[in-house]
């Protein structure tokens, strides 16, 4: 086979994935940038070019800055907590205990539960007057309708939902660590936490790096738990409303797709910067040896 | 080694990301995708009608509605229509109110609106002025359908620039639902047409037992089924008659809003937070509320609760200082301008506007039919309840404040601002003034 036909075959093989990605991910992303420079009427059938007007409005919109703060606050709480809990459970499930696969299934279950169904259960758990969480803690807190607590409720639900998949990824990383290293460390007298600190953790950094990047991108796009748990008539909405929620409201509820597009384009830039920073700093802590 | 591991990591990330994209099970990562998926979901309905293209062949029309409670009645109407027109089948599809207009707004520019669908007066102008609805003016002029057949002014709601766009379906007003058991226990006579708002507040206080979780009234943050009625009764208004100005900052409107909120402060109503946790009508259904404003369309829903069944009834809304306030709204059936089977759709639309369809609607208790002289069948659909109040109240009722391009813009924002006032973050007066400013802006932007 000559090299040219090999190329052709390679492209044929990746075409289904590539087409899907371009059609459903790349094209909408590019199109949303175009949309953000327009003012549309009549469901987007009539468009006027307005330049940076939508972005100008954005920078003077106090609600936008509050939404940005909320999004970053959620990310700062959600990502470390998910990493810590996922690593903790992954290490536990990497040991030899009875009923191992049962535990793995239990921890992975939230991942395959429909978010809407899970949210309905959480709404009941969080309820002020008859909720199980208040009953358990002996408190009387309106978890999802009090501005002081709503963010924590969202983080709890978010972490609960994210542990499953990330635990699995970290577990795969743990199983890639050669046993011989632990045996050597034991000969040198390392036990318990020291083994984790000096062998497991450094060798797990590539996996942790990957999960951090993915988690952070996911966290900045939080939407469904706000939509399902908090709702639009909730007094706590302004203190948890994220950029993507604001995008949804503007694009699909207020029919202002252009302003919505400007919001997600800012988010896109933020994510590019965040990911760029992480790649730049990975040399400091990620161990590929 | 290092390079191979890096390659492994990137391969791993690709697999995971694409798996998440394909299965759509990522919790947070694929929100934008799930938001967009609204359009294909709603557009799917016309795909199965494409197969048949000649009018003599079998045709399946999609009829989209938002109220699941009315689905059985709408299906009964569709069935009878198909019996008369064997080649036209009708699929009744329910999209809940919360998603309905989101999906319609995606379907409209894509040309995939359902063949026939329910229209709300608030959304009508936006769809009609964009030429997404098929005008039926020629059918009205040729006498195929007579708009004088419809009661309570419903024939004139869906008219824009002299063009008719909808066949009136039903109308609705608001009533005061009360729990007879709670009144009996307290030895207080049931509400009647002599009640005014002062009496409502007084009795609500008497009936409240917050320690038992029982409240006299639900002073909910709600428009059509809530404070709009209060504002009108107190001499205020929602939008000025020429549609140019918000009435939220009118002193009489603010006074009415404050009076409603005062019932929460008095402990005569659950707080906004409580009503966010549990919908107030659900509280009424579980016997925790003595009184609530609700639309007639919730009758079957409330009566379906085993706890309250047989222990409740309807009364007219109380009198205000100015008049008896009540919002009347009428739904219409419309057809898509880009439908594939417009002739068949018109046949169905005509049948939906017929006396027979109104009778089915009435007898099944689905809604108050718009067709003249069929309302009494609806009143009789549940003889143990005083449904007559909804018909009687049409006399004093004010039309739903829609009929503008601005309405779809200000309406969702209204509830967000008022939620801050009802939740106690800002004063009622401040909230009302913010809503007024927002509405006036929306009216100016959407002339």
* More confident call, B117 vs A254: B117
CA dist B348 and B371 (Å) reads: 16
- CB contacts of B102 in chain A (<8 Å) are 252-253
Give the pLDDT confidence of B116-139 residue by residue, as tens digits.
Answer: 999 998 888 889 888 899 988 888
CATH code assigned at B423: 3.40.190.10
Give the pLDDT confidence of B333-363 residue by residue, as tens digits.
Answer: 999 988 888 888 898 998 998 888 888 888 8
Q: Considering chain A, what is the average pLDDT of its residues?
A: 88
**Domain range spanning residue B272?**
174-325+404-445
Please tell me whether residue B295 adopts helix, strand or coil conformation.
Answer: strand
The reply to whether B71 and B59 lie within a common domain is: yes
* More confident call, B12 vs A187: A187
The reply to whether B185 and B248 lie within a common domain is: yes
**Would you list the DSSP string of B351-391?**
HHTSHHHHHHHHHTTSSEESBTT-HHHHHTTSTTS-THHHH
Do A142 and B18 count as a contact with CB atoms less than 8 A apart? no
Main-chain phi, psi angles of B215, to 5 degrees: -125, 155
CA dist B277 and B270 (Å) reads: 11
Checking if the pLDDT of B11 tops 60, the result is no
In this structure, is residue B30 part of a structural domain? Answer: no
- For chain B, what is the radius of gyration of the CA atoms? 24
Which CA distances in Å does B223 have to A34, A206, B394? 37, 54, 18
CA dist B150 and B170 (Å) reads: 9
Give the pLDDT confidence of A96-132 residue by residue, as tens digits.
Answer: 777 888 888 888 888 888 888 888 899 889 988 788 9
Strand partners, B170: B331, B369
Checking if the pLDDT of B26 tops 90, the result is no
pLDDT-derived band of residue B12, with 50, 70 and 90 as boundaries?
Answer: very low
Q: Considering chain B, what is the average pLDDT of its residues?
A: 84
The reply to whether B349 and B250 lie within a common domain is: no
pLDDT-derived band of residue B376, with 50, 70 and 90 as boundaries?
Answer: confident
Query: How many distinct structural domains can be found in chain B?
Result: 2
Q: Which of B50-59, B66-75, B211-220, B291-300 has the lowest mean pLDDT?
A: B50-59
Do A233 and B221 count as a contact with CB atoms less than 8 A apart? yes
The pLDDT score that the predictor gives to residue B138 is 84
In this structure, is residue B38 part of a structural domain? Answer: no
Structure tokens at B167: 């066949």
The pLDDT score that the predictor gives to residue B428 is 94
The reply to whether B181 and B162 lie within a common domain is: no
Distance from CA of B95 to the nearest CA of A (A): 15
The reply to whether B151 and B281 lie within a common domain is: no
Please tell me whether residue B208 adopts helix, strand or coil conformation.
Answer: coil
Strand partners, B92: B63
The reply to whether B197 and B136 lie within a common domain is: no
Distance from CA of A190 to the nearest CA of B (A): 26
Checking if the pLDDT of A84 tops 90, the result is yes
The reply to whether B209 and B283 lie within a common domain is: yes
pLDDT-derived band of residue A152, with 50, 70 and 90 as boundaries?
Answer: very high
Please tell me whether residue B37 adopts helix, strand or coil conformation.
Answer: coil
The pLDDT score that the predictor gives to residue B18 is 44
Rounded mean pLDDT, B367-391: 88
Rounded mean pLDDT, A66-88: 95
A65 part of contact set with chain B, CB < 8 Å: no
The pLDDT score that the predictor gives to residue B56 is 63
Checking if the pLDDT of A227 tops 70, the result is yes
DSSP letter (8 states) at residue B316: P
pLDDT-derived band of residue B152, with 50, 70 and 90 as boundaries?
Answer: low
The reply to whether B381 and B282 lie within a common domain is: no
Checking if the pLDDT of B49 tops 80, the result is no
Checking if the pLDDT of A142 tops 90, the result is no
The reply to whether B333 and B264 lie within a common domain is: no
In this structure, is residue B309 part of a structural domain? Answer: yes
Residues 268-327 of B with CB under 8 A from A: 272-274, 276-278
Give the pLDDT confidence of A167-206 residue by residue, as tens digits.
Answer: 989 999 998 888 888 888 888 877 778 888 888 888 899 9
Length of chain A: 289
The reply to whether B272 and B417 lie within a common domain is: yes
B129 C-beta neighbours (distance < 10 Å), count: 14
- Domains in chain A with CATH codes: 52-285 (1.10.3720.10)
CA dist B229 and B231 (Å) reads: 5
Do B31 and A235 count as a contact with CB atoms less than 8 A apart? no
Q: Give the residue from A145, A89, A152 showing the smallest Cα distance to B425.
A: A145
The pLDDT score that the predictor gives to residue B32 is 36
The reply to whether B168 and B179 lie within a common domain is: no
Using an 8 Å Cβ cutoff, are B426 and B435 in contact?
no
The pLDDT score that the predictor gives to residue B36 is 37
The reply to whether B234 and B316 lie within a common domain is: yes
Give the pLDDT confidence of B219-229 residue by residue, as tens digits.
Answer: 999 999 999 99
The pLDDT score that the predictor gives to residue B53 is 44
Give the pLDDT confidence of B164-208 residue by residue, as tens digits.
Answer: 899 999 989 999 999 999 999 999 999 999 999 999 999 999 999
Checking if the pLDDT of B365 tops 80, the result is yes
**Would you list the DSSP string of B147-168?**
GGGBSTTGGGTTEETTEE--EE
CA dist B136 and B349 (Å) reads: 10
Q: How many CB pairs under 8 A join A and B?
A: 143
Checking if the pLDDT of A138 tops 90, the result is no
Distance from CA of A85 to the nearest CA of B (A): 17
**ipTM value:** 0.75
Q: Give the residue from B178, B253, B225, B436 showing the smallest Cα distance to B327.
A: B225
Checking if the pLDDT of B8 tops 90, the result is no
Whole-prediction pTM value?
0.79
CA dist B146 and A59 (Å) reads: 54
Using an 8 Å Cβ cutoff, are B265 and B210 in contact?
no
Using an 8 Å Cβ cutoff, are B264 and B201 in contact?
no
Do A264 and B18 count as a contact with CB atoms less than 8 A apart? no
B286 C-beta neighbours (distance < 10 Å), count: 14
pLDDT-derived band of residue A74, with 50, 70 and 90 as boundaries?
Answer: very high
Distance from CA of B126 to the nearest CA of A (A): 8
Checking if the pLDDT of B19 tops 50, the result is no
Do B33 and A24 count as a contact with CB atoms less than 8 A apart? yes
- CB contacts of B29 in chain A (<8 Å) are 214, 217-218, 221
CA dist B368 and B359 (Å) reads: 10
Q: Give the residue from B329, B361, B371 showing the smallest Cα distance to B167.
A: B371
């Amino acid at each position: 086979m000559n090299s040219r036909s090999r190329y052709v075959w390679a492209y044929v093989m990746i075409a289904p994935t590539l087409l899907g990605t371009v059609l459903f991910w790349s094209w909408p992303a590019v199109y949303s940038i175009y949309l953000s420079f327009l003012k549309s009427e009549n469901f987007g059938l009539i468009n006027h070019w307005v330049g940076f007007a939508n972005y100008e409005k954005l920078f003077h919109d106090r609600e936008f800055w509050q939404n940005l703060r909320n999004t970053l606050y959620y990310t700062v709480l959600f990502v470390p907590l998910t990493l810590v809990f996922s690593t903790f459970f992954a290490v536990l499930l990497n040991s030899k205990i009875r009923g191992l696969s049962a535990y793995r299934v239990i921890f992975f279950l939230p991942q395959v539960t429909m978010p809407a169904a899970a949210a309905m259960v959480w709404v009941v758990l969080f309820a002020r007057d008859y909720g199980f969480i208040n009953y358990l803690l002996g408190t009387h807190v309106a978890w999802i309708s009090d501005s002081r607590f709503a963010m924590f409720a969202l983080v709890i639900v978010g972490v609960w939902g994210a542990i499953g998949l990330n635990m699995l990824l970290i577990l795969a990383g743990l199983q890639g660590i050669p046993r011989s290293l632990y045996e050597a460390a034991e000969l040198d007298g390392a036990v318990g936490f020291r083994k984790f600190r000096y062998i497991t953790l450094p060798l797990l950094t590539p996996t942790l790096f990957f999960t951090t990047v993915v988690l952070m991108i996911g966290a900045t796009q939080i939407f469904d738990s706000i939509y399902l748990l908090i709702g639009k008539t909730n007094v706590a909405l302004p203190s948890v409303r994220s950029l993507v929620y604001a995008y949804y409201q503007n694009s699909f509820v207020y029919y202002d797709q252009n302003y919505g597009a400007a919001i997600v384009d800012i988010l896109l830039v933020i994510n590019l910067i965040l990911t760029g920073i992480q790649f730049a700093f990975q040399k400091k802590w990620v161990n590929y040896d | 080694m290092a390079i191979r591991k890096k390659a492994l990591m990137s391969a791993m990330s690709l697999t995971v990301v694409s798996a998440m994209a394909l299965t759509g099970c990522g919790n947070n990562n694929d929100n934008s995708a799930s938001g967009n998926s609204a359009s294909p979901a709603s557009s799917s309905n016309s795909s199965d009608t494409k197969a048949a293209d000649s009018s003599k062949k079998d045709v399946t029309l999609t009829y989209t509605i938002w109220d699941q409670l009315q689905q059985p009645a709408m299906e009964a109407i569709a069935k009878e229509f198909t019996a008369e027109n064997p080649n036209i089948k009708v699929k009744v599809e329910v999209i809940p109110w919360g998603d309905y207009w989101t999906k319609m707004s995606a379907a409209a520019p894509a040309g995939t609106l359902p063949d026939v669908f329910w229209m709300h007066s608030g959304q009508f102008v936006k769809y009609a002025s964009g030429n997404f609805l098929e005008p039926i003016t020629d059918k009205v002029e040729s006498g195929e359908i007579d708009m004088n057949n419809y009661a309570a002014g419903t024939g004139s709601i869906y008219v824009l620039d002299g063009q008719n766009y909808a066949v009136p379906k039903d109308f609705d007003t608001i009533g005061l639902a009360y729990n007879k058991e709670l009144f009996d226990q307290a030895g207080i006579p049931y509400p009647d047409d002599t009640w005014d708002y002062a009496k409502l507040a007084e009795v609500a206080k008497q009936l409240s037992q917050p320690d038992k979780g029982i409240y006299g009234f639900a002073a909910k943050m709600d428009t059509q089924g809530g404070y709009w009625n209060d504002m009108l009764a107190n001499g205020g208004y929602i939008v000025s008659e020429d549609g140019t100005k918000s009435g939220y900052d009118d002193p009489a409107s603010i006074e009415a809003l404050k009076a409603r909120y005062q019932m929460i402060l008095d402990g005569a109503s659950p707080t906004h937070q409580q009503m966010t946790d549990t919908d107030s009508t659900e509280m009424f259904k579980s016997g925790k509320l003595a009184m609530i404003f609700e639309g007639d369309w919730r009758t079957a829903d409330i009566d379906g609760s085993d706890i309250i069944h047989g222990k409740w009834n309807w009364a007219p809304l109380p009198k205000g200082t100015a008049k008896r306030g009540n919002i009347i709204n009428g739904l219409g059936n419309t057809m898509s301008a880009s439908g594939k089977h417009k002739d068949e759709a018109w046949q169905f639309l005509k049948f939906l506007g017929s006396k027979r369809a109104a009778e089915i609607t009435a007898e099944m208790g689905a809604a108050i039919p718009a067709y003249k002289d069929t309302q009494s069948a609806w009143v009789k659909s549940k003889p143990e309840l005083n449904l007559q109040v909804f018909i009687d109240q049409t006399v004093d009722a004010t039309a739903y404040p829609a009929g503008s391009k601005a309405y779809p813009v200000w309406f969702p924002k209204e509830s967000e601002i008022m939620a801050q006032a009802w939740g106690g973050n800002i004063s009622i007066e401040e909230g009302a003034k913010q809503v007024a400013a927002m509405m006036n802006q929306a009216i100016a932007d959407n002339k």
